[in-house]
A = this chain, B = another copy of it.
């Protein structure tokens, strides 16, 4: 029998094995995308999620006030895995002023004329802020690898280049969290079909979504290599079971809240002496 939500309120919801240890060989088949931990249905998670949202808003206020760190959240996963939904729901109650989202689309000519990390570096959050990468520089070892958009000799060097880049960010005050949203191929089919039949959503479906689906196994392999090579002590990858959107939202929110808590942030001292400041009429 699963634990009642109230009993596990202080227990980290995500299985530790979902945080990839550096160098670990990952077989995604070992991670059931439909996993929902101690919960059976959405209703059981509402109270917990509400509490986490409140904590997240407070932590964001502290992050902003202190301005010593920034938080970079990287979201990756197959089409329809829920990157947009995660942003909408996890960040639903947040102060938009402290959060920037950067959407990595097909690179422009200007972006392609530089190294692959150039556009990522330009988009990193400033101190005090949360930055979200919706897709990221990891596309350069995912879609690029699957379709051989550059020679293997070029993309194979990128794992180390990414690790070095992220290490530099972390050493300079950025917290880097990377979430792979793990859905099954069947779940993707259902989601695509439901988009097509919904007139408020069918504009989202592109021919490329269907085309890319044919490369599912190649993508899984590319993700596994990415998880093995780029989960580091300074910037670990989290594998998030994402067939159930409500569980995905709960776990991602919890991971972020727990990580921010560890920063042990404090409201800064005033920049001027306010003890005997007089404000004129």
- The answer for the CA separation of A274 and B210 in the assembled complex, in Å, is 11
Establish whether residues B270 and A203, one from each chain, have CB atoms under 8 Å apart when the complex forms.
yes
Known contacts A88-B95, A103-B97, A267-B200; decide if A185 and B281 are in contact (CB<8 Å).
Answer: yes
Instruction: List B contacts of A192 (CB < 8 A).
Output: 279
The CB with the most chain B CB atoms within 10 A, among A93, A97, A268, is that of: A97
A274/B95 in contact, CB under 8 A:
no
Which residue of B is nearest A278, CB measured? B210
Q: When each residue 258-281 of chain A gets 1 if its CB lies under 8 Å from chain B and 0 otherwise, what string results?
A: 000000000111111010010111
Interface residues of A in 87-123 (CB under 8 A from B): 87-88, 91-97, 99-101, 103
CB of A68 to closest CB in B, whole Å: 12
What is the distance, in angstroms, from A88's C-beta to the closest C-beta of chain B? 5
Q: For the complex, is A1 an interface residue (Cβ under 8 Å from B)?
A: no
Rounded to whole Å, the gap between the CB of A49 and the closest CB of chain B is 15
B96 and A132 contacting across the interface, CB-CB below 8 Å: yes
Stoichiometry, as copies per complex, reads 2
Determine if A193 is an interface residue (Cβ-Cβ < 8 Å): yes
Contact pattern, A 65-81, Cβ under 8 Å of B = 1, otherwise 0: 10000000000000000
Q: In the assembly, what is the distance between CA of A210 and CA of B280, in Å?
A: 8
State whether A87 touches B95 (Cβ < 8 A): yes
User: In which size bucket is the chain A interface?
Assistant: 35 or more
Q: Which residue of B lies closest to A201 (CB)?
A: B267
In the assembly, what is the distance between CA of A144 and CA of B268, in Å? 30
Q: Are B97 and A134 in contact (CB under 8 A)?
A: yes
**A197 to chain B: closest CB distance in Å?**
8
A41 at the interface (CB under 8 A from B): no
Q: Could you tell me the distance between the alpha carbons of A85 and B100 in the complex, rounded to whole angstroms?
A: 18
Do A272 and B205 touch across chains, with their CB atoms under 8 A apart?
yes
* Bound complex: CA A259 to CA B132 (Å): 29
CB distance from A86 to the nearest CB of B (A): 10
Q: Which residues of B contact A61 (CB under 8 A)?
A: 200
A147 lies within 8 A of chain B by Cβ: no
A42 within 8 A of B: no
The 6 closest A-B pairs by CB, nearest first: A203-B268, A202-B270, A97-B101, A196-B274, A88-B95, A91-B96
Task: Please list 15 pairs of residues, one from A and one from B, whose beta carbons are closer than 8 Å in the complex, sorted by A's number.
Answer: A65-B200, A87-B96, A87-B97, A92-B93, A96-B96, A100-B100, A192-B279, A193-B279, A196-B274, A201-B267, A205-B271, A205-B277, A206-B272, A210-B279, A210-B280
